[in-house]
A and B are shown apart, each in its own frame.
Chain A
Amino acid sequence: MSVVSNKVAASHGPHARKSHDMFSKIVKLSPRFLLVLLLLPVLGGLISVLLPAFGYAPALDQTTFGLQGFTMLWQTPGLVNMAMLSIGTGLISTLLAFIITLMILAAFFNSPWLNRIQRLLSPILVIPHAAAAIAVGFLIAPSGMISRIISPWLSGWELAPNGLFPHDSFGISIILGLTLKELPFLLLMALGVLAQPELGKKLRQQHKVALNLGYCPMTAFFKVILPSLYPLLRLPILAVLAYASASVEMPLILGPNTPPTLAVAIMHWFNDVDLNLRIKASAGALLQLALTGGLLALWLGGEKAIKVLFSDSLTNGVREYGGFYWQKLTVILTVLVIGFILLSLIALILWSVAGFWRFPNALPEQFTLLHFKSALMQMSNPLFNTLAIGLVTTVFAITVTLLCLESEQLSDKPISRFTSLIIYLPLLVPSIAFLFGLVWIQQWVNNQAAFFNVVFTHLLFVLPYVFLSLASSYRRLDPRFARVAASLGAAPCKVFFKVKLPQLFAPILIAAALGLAISFGQYLPTLLAGGGRIATITTEAVTLANGASRRTSAVYAIMQMALPLIGFILAWGLPKYFFKSARV
């Protein structure tokens, strides 16, 4: 008896203290670890692009610094068009997505429709950009679904007509694709902010007060909710803007190519047979960096201007700005957006099982499972890679995030503004600008560990989203539980594992599903860091979208959607299943 209790005491005493020390130390170090983890690759990557841009490229036997890269860049025919196309599509699509998000929020705030819209749109979040671009392209093409529905009975078209979309020279198709893809992201981010119990409750009450004071619901939203909501939405919006101005997949599939957007052109230069184009590509990457930076600055400037211009109208007491018509317009827009997305999903599913399907038939002549069969036969290895990389990356990202958030609570002060900005760095710096440099470094440090390199690169993109998703839940944990546990003698380690983590079960699962979804969708990072050796569902899908049949692409796109959806369904379902007994 006494032996046992001695043993227990022994194992509890010094061991507990030791682990407490270890744990606290790890927790304390974790924000710095996070900084190094994110700063080194991004800055290192940028420097490795900077050097060739200024003419230093030992691989090409060029070791003198100079400006020939920029000279070559300025002489590129159509450079201004490329830059304008990038700026235009990036800015307009972000603005549109932002405005429609606000309109939907304003029109349906405090209505059950908001949740329904969210449920309809949230699956879009997990569709990789490439798959979405293919789906959108199919709708608006001359032989697309819309054209098929009206042919030949209305249009008289027996063959597909000469059309304008996609690939129009103004980039309207890119804008359409990006807007549809970013809208659900912004909406979900906004709803996430509003779901914070205290803030959400406060805002909803204020909204009610405004309604009672006779403000029309939409006016109330813009005057009462938006000023509190916007600061919390700023980072996601900037990330969307940065992404939209420098993305590759959408413009590649939907955009014009005489000339393409700057980012697409840079990618082509990097991959060109003529290796001297690398120098021009590096200079182009710097130009892209400047463009994206300029756009972000423009957006922040616009914010300030709007603040100055509209601050009076917040308190001018006007109750109504044609709210009825705005409401109707929003309903129409929402129906259009959802209809568009549903139609493209239906088309995607039809393609995946279509036999012969000649224009202008609205339905395939026969259905077949051939495309699924042949795709599934070749899918096992990419599928395994996708899951393995996603899981390793996500688990690591969640661990680091939790430790960083815990360090906030242990030291009782939020992580520095600098650190929180750095977390979003990989989302704000155009990936095309630093990825090529990063790969250069990875080549040099460890060439053979392709799997590790891919996981590491994915981490740069997964970590910010996981952090974004977990931070608010972690910070609004009631601190009294931890205090009570600590006062009862529990070590910080025990408080963390036994008190905090169980309360965070649901948010952690959601963050995991999000992390997996982000990892599943990565194309350029997987391709570059893995040296093309690591095939995932997404890299296969983009290769096939570029090459083989629309039917096989549809199968891959469906797989791309199914994987993250399974993740989210698990994340929503598991907590209910586990805590059912507890609640009863």
Chain B
Amino acid sequence: MHASKFWQAATRYGFYCVAFCICLITSLSTFANSNAQNMSKDLVTRWKNIETLGNNQSVYFYAWGGDAQINAYIQWAAQQVKTKYNINLVHVKLSDTSEAVSRVLAEKSAHNNDQGSVDLVWINGANFATMSEHALLLKQWANKLPHFAYTDPANNPAVNFDFGIPTNGMEAPWGQASLTFYYDSIAINKQANNKLPTTLNELLNWSTQNPGRFSYPKPPDFLGMSFLKYALVVLHQQSSESIKVQLNQAATANNTAQVLTPLWDFLNKLHPTLWRGGTHFMQSGAQMRRLVDDTELSIAFTFSAPEVPAAVKRYDLPKSIRSYAMADGSLSNTHFVAIAYNASHPQSAQLVANFLLSPKAQAQKQKAHIWGDKSVLIQSRLTPEQQALFKTAKPHPSALPFNSIKRTLSEPHPSWVNAIMQGWQTRYGVSQ
């Protein structure tokens, strides 16, 4: 009797309990749901606002202007945003991105906090580190762009970190690049002492056998710096984990010598074999390309692989050029667009950044004859129609063969750029 009563009570309470729990869960989940809906609603209204405010304006896009192909792509993008939003996208052609950094800084110092001349800027690595350190960039906008979801940010850390530094929504990813080598197949004739070098060590041997046929742009040039970083990372491939870890951390007075010594040892051996005996270095990657065309150099490298076939088509490189990736790894990174904190047209700049992230713009950019810059979008996040935009045509003989990058090397912490540059300057900056 007691027992049955007890069970009755227990069942009743249990029933209440379950009912309560169900109620609780449902209400909680509706609450959470509505919260998520509110969130995305906020985002949608935010974007609606931007769309209304951003139309019919000018956007000054500060971007490196040294490549005709890239310039033409930016012109195409300008036409697109003109028809789409009536935005007048002006490409301000820089010879070095740091010019834009200087400009924003000069404006900040002149207390020009909302009428800045830089709206959008093409940036990554050390320039980004400087701008974010001096609070020169607009924050928390890039991760709210509608097209940002296509980059699968949850599973793709590359779009949220720039050389290991969190972007905090200050940059929208634009493309990906890997260090690619190219050579003159007439000059490298596969004889015993003239075989194509595919590792850093082979490169040193090859350059010793063929003096004056290889060099790299003088730091702080971006490409020259990239070669030094590639060498640094490769030289540490066999090092202990404790040293390897240092590469992803800031350079300090304590670890600099230890990490960089192998690089200096390597360069001491390499430099006497270089073009001009290592006493003069070219200014830029484009100058290096010109020296290959002049047959002064036989091996060179670039961070934008498609520029090689494009240059051959424009007659800027001989037909005998072939591209390849180093077997010991290719340094890879993502590049971004950012908005200056004092941009005159921040909303319009966001519209442009969002357009640059669209499948249409990314697919156009990835085409080898347009620019050939690798897309930052993740295919699985796209609809089949969007994926179809990325289908490719038959590659040019000078282009990097498909899937030849077997191993990517990630960029060391940006502070190493400065450490390498200063060490380089004191060791090799003054030749006597």
Give me the interface of A with B, judged by CB distance under 8 Å: 57-60, 77-78, 81, 141-143, 159-160, 162-163, 167, 169, 252, 256-259, 270-275, 354-359, 368, 370-371, 374, 378, 439-440, 443-444, 447-448, 450, 531-533, 535, 539-540, 542-544, 546-552
CA distance A169 to B281 in the complex (A): 12
Q: B109 at the A/B interface (Cβ < 8 Å)?
A: yes
Which residues of chain B have C-beta atoms less than 8 A from A370's C-beta?
314-315
CA distance A24 to B285 in the complex (A): 59
Known: A163-B296, A531-B92. 8 other contacts (CB 8 A): A78-B429, A81-B430, A141-B294, A142-B296, A273-B130, A443-B110, A540-B65, A548-B66
Cβ contacts B60-94/A at 8 Å (1 or 0 each): 10101111100110010000000000000010111
Q: B370 at the A/B interface (Cβ < 8 Å)?
A: no
Given contacts A359-B295, A543-B65, contact A354 B98 (CB under 8 A): no
CA distance A548 to B283 in the complex (A): 12
Which residues of chain A have C-beta atoms less than 8 A from B319's C-beta?
356
CB distance from B173 to the nearest CB of A (A): 21
Q: Are B115 and A448 neighbours in the complex by a CB distance under 8 Å? A: yes
Which residues of chain A have C-beta atoms less than 8 A from B318's C-beta?
356, 358
Q: Are B117 and A533 neighbours in the complex by a CB distance under 8 Å? A: yes
Given contacts A531-B103, A546-B286, contact A258 B428 (CB under 8 A): yes
Given contacts A142-B296, A159-B295, A551-B314, contact A374 B280 (CB under 8 A): no
User: Chain B: how many interface residues by the 8 Å CB criterion?
Assistant: 70
CB distance from B379 to the nearest CB of A (A): 32
Q: B211 at the A/B interface (Cβ < 8 Å)?
A: yes
Given contacts A533-B117, A535-B93, contact A160 B295 (CB under 8 A): yes
CA distance A444 to B108 in the complex (A): 10
Q: Are B311 and A549 neighbours in the complex by a CB distance under 8 Å? A: yes
Q: Are B98 and A271 neighbours in the complex by a CB distance under 8 Å? A: yes
Q: Are B295 and A358 neighbours in the complex by a CB distance under 8 Å? A: yes
CA distance A357 to B286 in the complex (A): 17
Which of A59, A167, A275, A543 is within 8 Å of B93, CB to CB? A543
Q: B152 at the A/B interface (Cβ < 8 Å)?
A: no
CA distance A356 to B293 in the complex (A): 9
CB distance from B279 to the nearest CB of A (A): 6
Q: Are A59 and B218 neighbours in the complex by a CB distance under 8 Å? A: no
Given contacts A357-B315, A549-B311, contact A273 B98 (CB under 8 A): yes
- Mark out the residues of chain B between 111 and 144 whose CB falls within 8 Å of any chain A CB in the assembled complex: 111-112, 115-117, 126-127, 130, 134
Which residues of chain B have C-beta atoms less than 8 A from A258's C-beta?
218, 279-281, 428-431
CA distance A81 to B279 in the complex (A): 14
CB distance from B293 to the nearest CB of A (A): 8
Which of A77, A447, A550 is within 8 Å of B115, CB to CB? A447
Which residues of chain A have C-beta atoms less than 8 A from B66's C-beta?
543-544, 546-548
Which residues of chain B have C-beta atoms less than 8 A from A162's C-beta?
211-212, 275-276
Given contacts A359-B294, A439-B106, contact A542 B95 (CB under 8 A): yes
Q: Are B295 and A274 neighbours in the complex by a CB distance under 8 Å? A: no
Q: Which of A374, A531, A552 has the most chain B CB within a 10 Å cutoff? A: A531
CB distance from A137 to the nearest CB of B (A): 10
Instruction: Name which residue of chain A comes closest to B210, CB basis.
Output: A159
Q: Are A355 and B315 neighbours in the complex by a CB distance under 8 Å? A: yes
Instruction: Name which residue of chain B comes closest to A549, CB basis.
Output: B316
Q: Are B102 and A447 neighbours in the complex by a CB distance under 8 Å? A: no
14 A-B pairs with C-beta separation under 8 A: A59-B108, A159-B296, A163-B296, A257-B218, A271-B98, A273-B127, A358-B318, A374-B68, A378-B72, A532-B103, A543-B95, A546-B284, A548-B68, A550-B316
Q: B261 at the A/B interface (Cβ < 8 Å)?
A: no
Which of B101, B106, B276, B425 is within 8 Å of A273, CB to CB? B101
Q: Which of A60, A447, A535 has the most chain B CB within a 10 Å cutoff? A: A447
Q: B155 at the A/B interface (Cβ < 8 Å)?
A: no
CA distance A30 to B270 in the complex (A): 64
Which of B94, B276, B430 is within 8 Å of A78, CB to CB? B430
Q: Are B117 and A531 neighbours in the complex by a CB distance under 8 Å? A: yes
CB distance from B93 to the nearest CB of A (A): 5
Q: B236 at the A/B interface (Cβ < 8 Å)?
A: no
Which residues of chain B have C-beta atoms less than 8 A from A270's C-beta?
102
Q: Are A551 and B316 neighbours in the complex by a CB distance under 8 Å? A: yes
Which residues of chain B have C-beta atoms less than 8 A from A356's C-beta?
315, 318-319
Given contacts A169-B431, A549-B68, contact A271 B103 (CB under 8 A): no
Which residues of chain B have C-beta atoms less than 8 A from A252's C-beta?
283
Q: Are A447 and B71 neighbours in the complex by a CB distance under 8 Å? A: no
Q: B203 at the A/B interface (Cβ < 8 Å)?
A: no
Q: B405 at the A/B interface (Cβ < 8 Å)?
A: no
Cβ contacts B301-333/A at 8 Å (1 or 0 each): 000000000010011101100000000000000
CB distance from A243 to the nearest CB of B (A): 22
- Mark out the residues of chain B between 252 and 286 whose CB falls within 8 Å of any chain A CB in the assembled complex: 275-276, 279-281, 283-284, 286
CA distance A540 to B296 in the complex (A): 26
CB distance from B91 to the nearest CB of A (A): 9
CB distance from B310 to the nearest CB of A (A): 11
CB distance from A284 to the nearest CB of B (A): 15
Which residues of chain B have C-beta atoms less than 8 A from A378's C-beta?
68, 71-72, 75
